[in-house]
Chains A and B, each alone.
Chain A
Amino acid sequence: MFRAALRLSVSGARSLTRTRPQYTASIAARSYSHGKQETDEEFDARWVTYFNKPDIDAWELRKGMNTLIGYDLVPEPKILEAALRACRRLNDLASAIRILEAVKDKSGPHKEIYPYVLQELQPTLSELGIPTPEELGIDKA
């Protein structure tokens, strides 16, 4: 419990110190007093590999996504792309749209993150035919 709180506070501090899109940086998920810290790239790679599993099942997709949203960060577009492709393999369009909604919600007050993510994901979205929540009109209650 305490470690989770520590992890979140460390994540928050680190995200401020990165130079390039600071707000979308995915941060080390564990903070130990000794031992190796996982770098952002390792974190991203781990999650991309998770979602890229060819025979990923629906439970794993849900578990992965819910866990990822639980972290104190907005996932990198490449992780989201892997997740969207996993939705495609599972024939689950609703989850793909939900993931986009979750990203927007996760950015909170940083309104510039979501358009950036959409911009990065645009090729994937058009290739797979995934509409954005705005196109469907569900971004407004």
Chain B
Amino acid sequence: MLATRSLVRGLQSGFWRRVSTSSAAWAAHTHDVDVIDCSIPQYNNRLDTPLPDVPFVRNLSAEQKKLKEKEKGSWTQLTKEEKLALYRLTHELSYAEMRQGSKEWMTVLGGIFIFLGFTGLLVWWQRIYVYGDVPHTLSEESMAQQTQRMIDMRVNPVHGFSNKWDYEKKQWK
């Protein structure tokens, strides 16, 4: 009984809190996270949707509200800055900004190479300090004896190994 209660208490605190409580309750607890309500139309920057469902800035300050009032009159009365401000109220990114791209790929590629290089160092260390000696049959002398035996046995005489050995001149072709 006590064990399960402490288990629940443990679940409620720390890391598991976010998983175990609803987002509304979570928002009531802390104010660090912006809770996005996905059940209402959201703003989005999309090239194929020029006019998003909602304007970017929903809560207008007093002077922004005044600008919106001025928008109801003739647009020839607006200054260039005011027109730009109106655009930015409704849209976060212009088409040019949406198409911009970034240099993030260089960072990613660089990170990949760094980690590959580090892994290479680890593998090298492992080769030197972890792996034991290779078998003695891979020594020069042993390999020479093995090769000679393969030639004598006529290993793959048609197209392969012994085919490349000239038996008259006793040398490789």
Enumerate B80-100 residues with CB–CB distance to A below 8 Å.
80, 83-84, 86-87, 89-91, 94-97, 99-100
Interface residues on A, range: 20 to 34
Map CB proximity to B onto A122-133 as digits: 1 under 8 Å, 0 otherwise: 000000111101
Binds B, one of A10-18, A41-49, A89-97: A89-97
**A104 CB–B CB distance under 8 Å:** yes
Known contacts A95-B51, A139-B96; 12 additional CB pairs below 8 A are: A62-B53, A66-B48, A66-B50, A92-B71, A93-B83, A98-B91, A105-B47, A129-B74, A129-B78, A133-B95, A138-B96, A141-B94
Enumerate A77-125 residues with CB–CB distance to B below 8 Å.
88, 91-95, 97-99, 101-102, 104-105
Shortest Cβ distance from residue B90 to the other chain A in the assembled complex, whole angstroms: 4
Q: Out of A104, A129, A130, A141, which one reaches B100, CB within 8 Å?
A: A141
Tell me whether A136 and B50 are in contact in the complex, defined as CB-CB below 8 angstroms, given that A93-B78, A95-B90, A104-B95 are known contacts. no
Map CB proximity to B onto A10-41 as digits: 1 under 8 Å, 0 otherwise: 00000000000000000000000000000000
A99, B50: Cβ atoms under 8 Å? yes
Tell me whether A141 and B99 are in contact in the complex, defined as CB-CB below 8 angstroms, given that A98-B50, A99-B50 are known contacts. yes
In the complex, which residue of chain B has the Cβ closest to the Cβ of A136? B84
Contacts of A88 on B, CB cut-off 8 Å?
A: 75
Contacts of B51 on A, CB cut-off 8 Å?
A: 61-62, 65-66, 95, 98-99
Q: Out of A91, A93, A101, A131, which one reaches B95, CB within 8 Å?
A: A101
Tell me whether A93 and B94 are in contact in the complex, defined as CB-CB below 8 angstroms, given that A62-B51, A102-B50, A105-B47 are known contacts. no
**A3 CB–B CB distance under 8 Å:** no
Shortest Cβ distance from residue B124 to the other chain A in the assembled complex, whole angstroms: 45
A66, B49: Cβ atoms under 8 Å? yes
Expressed in whole angstroms, the Cα–Cα distance for A95 and B76 within the complex equals 16
A105, B87: Cβ atoms under 8 Å? no
In the complex, which residue of chain A has the Cβ closest to the Cβ of B84? A136
A131, B97: Cβ atoms under 8 Å? no
Expressed in whole angstroms, the Cα–Cα distance for A73 and B63 within the complex equals 40
**B72 CB–A CB distance under 8 Å:** yes
26 contacts between A and B (CB under 8 A): A62-B53, A66-B49, A70-B48, A92-B71, A93-B71, A93-B87, A94-B90, A95-B90, A97-B87, A98-B50, A98-B90, A98-B91, A102-B95, A104-B95, A105-B47, A129-B74, A129-B75, A129-B76, A133-B95, A133-B96, A136-B83, A138-B87, A138-B95, A141-B97, A141-B99, A141-B100
Expressed in whole angstroms, the Cα–Cα distance for A91 and B96 within the complex equals 24
